[in-house]
Structure 1
Amino acid sequence: MTKRRFRAAAVQTLARLGDYDHNIKLATQYVEDAVRQGAELIVFPECMDTGYLFDSAEHARELAETVTDGPFVTALSALAAKHGVYIASGITEWDPEKKKIFNSGVMFDRKGGLACHYHKQFLATHDQNWFEFGERGCPVVDTDLGRIGLLICFDGRIPEIFRSMTLQGAEIIVDMANFFSMDQADMWGPARAYENGVWLVAATKAGYERSIYYPGGSMIVDPKGRVVSKVPYDTHGMAVADVDPEMAGDKSIYAADDKIAGRRPETYGALALPYEQTPVCGLADQPLVPSKSVTKVAAVQMHCTRGAADPEVVLEMIDHTAKLGAKVITAPEYAFSPTWAPSASEAKEQARATPAILEKVSAIASRYGCLIAAPVIEEDAGKLFVSTVLIGPDGGRVGSYRKTHLTAEERAWATAGDAYPVFDTQFGRIGVMSGFDGVFPETSRCLGVGGADIVLWPAALREPYERELLAVPRAEDNRVALVLANRVDSPYPGGSMVVPPTGFPMWDINVAAPRSLQLGAVMPRHVDLAVCRQKMMIPKVDMFANRMPETYAPLVAA
C-alpha cells in the first residue's frame, strides 16, 4: 500500500497535578487547534492526565485511571472520534487486574478505539517510587497513517527499545515525555531517529512541577535525524510538520549501505541475555585502588596519505603520544594505508606490511609501558580482515578485534568478524569498534554488556551525524569512555576526541569538542575507571541492570 503524507502535532504544555478537569480542558484546546492546522496525529506528554511528581505511591494510586473508563482517556477517545484523528498521550494507569500502577502510553484511533497501549520500561528514579516496570513489551501497530510504535521519555535512552520497534516495521515512533534535560531532546531524539531511519514525534512538558523543571524540547524529526519542527524551550505550543512514512523505508547510508540490512543479528546474542548472565553484572561492586584506576587515553589523528605513505609518519606520532604519558592509544581506521577506503589490491599490499608494522608498534608499547591499538589489515588462512590489534605494555599481543560490520567497499575483499571481545588490561577493560560499526548501536551495546570501561573507535567517518549525534550516546548509553580517532581525508574529516562516560556538560558536540582538521592532532583525556564501572545514569537507573532483554527478541532474530 502506498503511504500518504499526513500532518502531525507534538504538544508542549504543562499538566496540573491531580486536576483532571484542567488537564482535559487543556488537551481539548490543543486538539482543536491541531485539527484546525490539519493534524491527523496529535501527541501529548507523559502523565498528561494527572501530572507527574506524586507525594507517594498511595497518592499516585489515588489519581491513577484505568485505560477503559478513566476520565482523561474517555475524553481523549471522544476527541479522537469527534475529529477523526489519532491522539496519543502518556497517562498514570491503574490496572485493576494486576493491582499495579504503570506509567503508560495510549493511542486512540479515528473512531476513538484504543489502537495501542504501552507501559514505560526504563523507569527514572522517581518513577520507581510509584510505578511498576512495564509489562507490554515494545508494541507496534498498523494504522492508515503507517506503522506506529509508542515509547515514553527515558525509554529513548535504551537503544534496544527504539531498535526493537524499528525491526517490527515501525515508521513513526511516538514519544510521550517529560524531558528533564535539553540533551534528551537535542541529541538523543535525533540520534535514535537517525540510527534507525524512522520518524520521531516527541511531546514533552515545559515549566515547573514542584521540584522538577521541564525545559521543553517537543519536536518532530525525520528519518535522517533532521529536526523539521520544534517548540522553543520554556514555551507552550505545538511542533507541527508533514510526515511522509515512505521516507522511513529508506535505510540507506553512505553510497551503498543500509542501517538495518547491514546489521549482524547472529552476533548480538549477548543483548538478549539476562543481566545476571552478562560480564557487566557485578563489575561495579569490585573494589578499585584510586591511585591505579585513572588511565590517560589518547586519540591520535594521524594516518598515511597519498603524499606521505610511509608508516613511519604514523609510528612517529604514536611514539610522541606515548612519550607524553598516554597509556591507551588508538589511531584512525586504516592508519597505515594512504587511503580511507582501500581497494582489494591495496588491502592485500597492506596485509603484507602488517607484521612489520606490528613489530614496530610492539617496540613503542614496551618502551613506554603503554597499550596501543593498531588498526591494520590482517591475512589469516587466505582471508583478509579489517583488524584492530591491541599491543600491551610488554610488547605482546593482548588480542585483536575483527570488524563485524563491513561497508559495501570492504565486502568486496574482507571477511567480517563475529565477536565483540572485551580485553581486561591493567589500564581497564577495553573494547573496540571500527568505522562503520559505530553506526549500529548493537556494537557498543555488546561491548557495554561485555563490561567495557573504554571503547576505542578507529574511524573514517563519512557523515556529520556519526560524530555529532552518535558518539556521545555510544559513550553515555554504555557508561564508557569513547576514544574516537578519525581520518582527515575521509568524507567527514577530523574531529577526533575522547567522550567521557557521562558525556559533556554541553550537548552541542561542536561546542563541547570543536572539530580539529589537523593531521597529527592528539586528543588526550584522563579516564576514571571507577566512573566507567558505575553504570548508573542516576540513582537506581542502571543502564544494564534495568534493561528488559526478554522484550528484545527482534534484535537477535535473523
Structure 2
Amino acid sequence: MTKRRFRAAAVQTLARLGDFDYNIALATRYVEDAVRQGAELIVFPECMDTGYLFDSAEHCRELAETLADGPFVKALAALSRKHGVYIASGITEWDPAKQKIFNTGIMFDRKGEVACHYHKQFLATHDQNWFAFGERGCPVVDTDLGRIGLLICFDGRIPEIFRAMAMQGAEVIVDMANFFAMDQADMWGPARAYENGVWLVAATKAGYERSIYYPGGSMIVDPKGRVLSKVPYDTHGMSIATIDLDAAADKSIYTANDKIADRRPETYCIMALPYEQTPVCGIADRPLIPSKSVTKVAAVQIHVTDTTTVADVLDMVDHTAKLGAKVLVLPDYAFSPQYILSAKEAAALADQASAHLAGISAIAARYRCLIAAPIVERAAAGLYVTTVLTGPDGTEIGRYRKTHLTAEERQWAVAGDAYPVFETPFGRLGVMSGYDAVFPESSRCLAIGGADIILWPASLREAFERELLAVPRAEDNRVAVVLANRVDCPYPGGSVVIPPNGFPQWDINVAAPRVLRNGAVMPKHIDLAVCRQKLMIPKVDMFANRLVETYASIVAA
C-alpha cells in the first residue's frame, strides 16, 4: 500500500576521493541521523562512493565498484535493510558485462534490494573522460512511497529527462548531484519541479574536491516549484521535509488548466527524431557574416487600456522601430483592453485584425524591421490565437497559431498544430504564445527546428512563469527569448530579452528587475552566432547529446 505522506532527507556532504571506508562511515552517520528524524527516503549526492574528479579513466576504473559486490553498495543495502528505509545514492559503477564505467544512481528498498538502477545520460565534459553515456533510459518505479524516478545532476539541464519520468507517472524525482553552480539548485531544480508538477529531492555536495568547488544547494521542492527545505550553502547537513503525494497529483495551473493534460504530444514529433535528421544539426558549423549577424530586438510592453488606444500602441511601436529595433514583439492581445477574451470580444478583435495589421505593416515597411503582432485570426476552421510576423517590406512573413490554449481560449478558439520557424533577414525566428511557454516542449520544438530567437507574447498569470521558466527556456535551447508581457495580468510587466547564455546572475529579478509601466520598451542586441553555438561547455551540446530513444513517453499520445 502506498503511503500518501512520508519524510524525505537530502544529504549535503563531501565524499573523500578513493576512500571507501570514510565514505561508508559518513553515509552511515547520516542515515542514522535521518532515521532518528523520521525519514523514510534518504538521498546522497553523485559518486558518493568514490569521489568524482579522477586522475584518469584508469583511475576511475580502479575505484569503480560493481552492483554485485561493491563495498559502498553493500553498505547502503545493509543500512536500508537494517532501518527499513529507502536509500538512494550516486555511485561509480563498473559493469563487467558491458565492460563500461557508468555514473550511476541506485536506490535500495526497505529490504535492501535494488528498487531502481539509473545511468546518467547527459554527461558533463569531465564525465565524458571516464564514463559511458547512460543505457538505462528514464526509469520510474512503483514503491510503497509512491512512483519514484532517478536522475543525476546535469540531467536536470535537459528538460526531456524530467519530462519523460513525469509522463511515466513519477510523483517524486530523486536527484543525486554535484552542483557546480548555484543556478543549478536555485533555478533549474525548482523549474523542473514546477513545469512537471512533481516533488524533487536533490542532494549535492558542499566543499572543494581538487579543482571543483561545490557550493551546495541540497533541497526539497514541492510540485508548485516552492523550496520547502534547503541546506545552507557551504555547510554540511540534511534537508528534511514531508512529501505529500496528493500534491503531485494536482497539475492545475491558472483557473482551470492542467500542465500535463493540456500537453499536445501529437505536435512534438520532432523531439524524437535522431539529431542528424533535425534542422538544428550542425547549425553551429555554418558560416555567418559578423556584420550581419547581430540583431537588435525589443519587447514592447504596451497594449490597449481604458486610456491607451490602438493609435497609442502603434505610436510606441513606431518610436521603438525609429530607434533601431529590428525585431519587435507585442504582448498577448495587444489591441484589446482585456487579457482574457470572451467569445464576443474575440470575434470583435478578429474583425479588427486587418486594420491593426495594416498599421503594423506600414511601420515595418517604414523602418525596414520585423514586427510580431498577436491577433485573433478568423479562418475557415474558426478563430485562432495567432501571432503574425510582418517583414521589412511590409508583407507577412508568416504566422503562428497558438498550440496550447487556456481554458478561456478553448471556449472560442481552435488550437494550432505546428511550431514553424521563419527564415528572416534578422535570423531564424519562432513564436511561443502565452501559455505555450509553460510546456518545455514548445521551445524545444522551435530550437530543434533551428530557431535563433523565440518571441514570447504573454499575459503571465503566475510569478514562476517568469522567475523560473524564462531563463531556462533560453539557456536550455541556446536561443534568445523575447518576452513581451502585459501590465494588467495577474503577474504584470517584467518584459525582458534573455540572451542564449542567460544572465551573469541567475535570479532574473536581480538581473532584469521588473518594469510595470505600460509603454516600456526592453531592447537588446542579440548575436546570432551565439544563438547557433549549442555547446553549454566543451563536448556538451544541448541537442547532439540528447538520447532521443529514451523520450518515447513524451511523444506518445
Counterpart of 1:332 in structure 2: which amino acid?
Answer: P
Q: Name the CA distance, whole Å, in 2 between partners of 1:382 and 1:532.
A: 36
Q: Determine helix, strand or coil for the equivalent of 1:61.
A: helix
Q: What is the correspondence of 1:392-541 to structure 2 with a 5 Å cutoff?
A: 392-541=391-540
Counterpart of 1:210? 210
Q: Aligned pair 1:43/2:43, yes or no?
A: yes
**Alignment correspondent of 1:145:** 145
Corresponding pairs, count:
557
Please give the alpha-carbon distance, in whole angstroms, between the structure 1 residues aligned to 2:316 and 2:229: 45
Partner of 1:5: 5
CA apart distance, 1:426 = 1.2
Displacement of 1:360 in angstroms is 1.2
Aligned AA (1:546): N
Aligned 8 A contact 2:150 2:174 in 1: yes
1:2/1:409 CA distance change after superposition, 3 Å: farther
Once the two structures are superposed, residues 418-460 of structure 1 have per-residue CA deviations (whole angstroms, 9 ceiling, x without a partner) of 0000111111110000000010000000011001110000000
TM-score, scaled to structure 1: 0.99
The reply on whether 1:189 has 2:207 as its aligned counterpart is no
Whether the 8 Å CA contact 1:16–1:51 is kept in 2: the answer is yes
Q: Which amino acid aligns with 2:225?
A: G
Matched, 1:373 2:375: no
Indicate yes or no: 2:218 matched with 1:237. Answer: no
Distance 1:78 1:405 in 2: 48
SS at match of 1:408: coil
Matched, 1:252 2:252: yes
Tell whether the 8 Å contact from 2:10 to 2:219 is kept in structure 1 after alignment: yes
Counterparts of 1:19-34 in structure 2, within 5 Å, are: 19-34=19-34
Q: How does 1:243-282 map to 2 (within 5 A)?
A: 243-282=243-282
Once the two structures are superposed, what CA deviation does each residue of 1:116-138 show, in whole Å capped at 9, x if it has no partner? Answer: 00000000000000000000000
Q: CA deviation at 1:382?
A: 5.0
Please list the CA deviations of residues 508-554 of structure 1 after superposition, one character each: whole Å capped at 9, or x if unmatched.
11111101100000000000101000011101000000001100000
Identity %: 79
Structure 2 stretches lacking a partner, 5+ long: none
TM (norm. structure 2) is: 0.99
CA distance in 2, matches of 1:140, 1:2: 15
Flag as ranges the 4+ runs of structure 1 deviating above 3 A.
none
Question: Post-superposition shift, 1:68?
Answer: 1.6
SS in structure 1 opposite 2:454?
strand
Contact 1:138 1:165 (C-alpha < 8 Å) held by counterparts:
yes
The Cα of 1:67 is off from its aligned counterpart by 1.1
SS of residue matched to 1:378: strand
Aligned ranges for residues 297-316 of structure 1 at < 5 Å? Answer: 297-308=297-308, 310-316=309-315
Query: In the TM superposition, what is the alpha-carbon distance from 1:359 to its structure 2 partner?
Result: 1.2
Looking at structure 2, the residues matched to 68 and 521 of structure 1 have their Cα atoms a distance apart, in angstroms, of 62
Distance (whole Å) between structure 2 residues aligned to residue 163 and residue 2 of structure 1: 23
User: What SS does the aligned partner of 1:9 have?
Assistant: strand
CA distance in 1, matches of 2:437, 2:316: 25
| Deviation at residue 306 of structure 1 after TM alignment | 3.1
Cα distance in 2 for partners of 1:283, 1:363 equals 33
CA contact (8 A) 2:2 2:145 kept: no
Is this contact kept in 2: 1:459–1:487, CA < 8 A?
yes
What is the root-mean-square deviation of aligned Cα atoms in Å?
A: 0.7
Q: How does 1:10-409 map to 2 (within 5 A)?
A: 10-308=10-308, 310-381=309-380, 383-409=382-408
8 Å contact 1:3–1:246 — kept in the other structure?
no
Greater CA deviation, 237-246 or 1-10?
1-10
Counterpart Cα distance in 2 of 1:22 and 1:166: 36
AA of the residue aligned to 1:526: H
Q: What letter is aligned with 1:549? A: V
Contact 1:306-1:339 at 8 Å conserved across structures: no
> Displacement, 1:2?
6.3
Whole-Å Cα distance in 2 between the matches of residues 69 and 420 of structure 1?
50
AA in 2 matched with 1:317: M
2:494/2:513 contact within 8 Å kept: yes
Structure 1: tracts of 5 or more residues without a match: none
Q: Distance in 1 between matches of 2:94 and 2:205?
A: 22
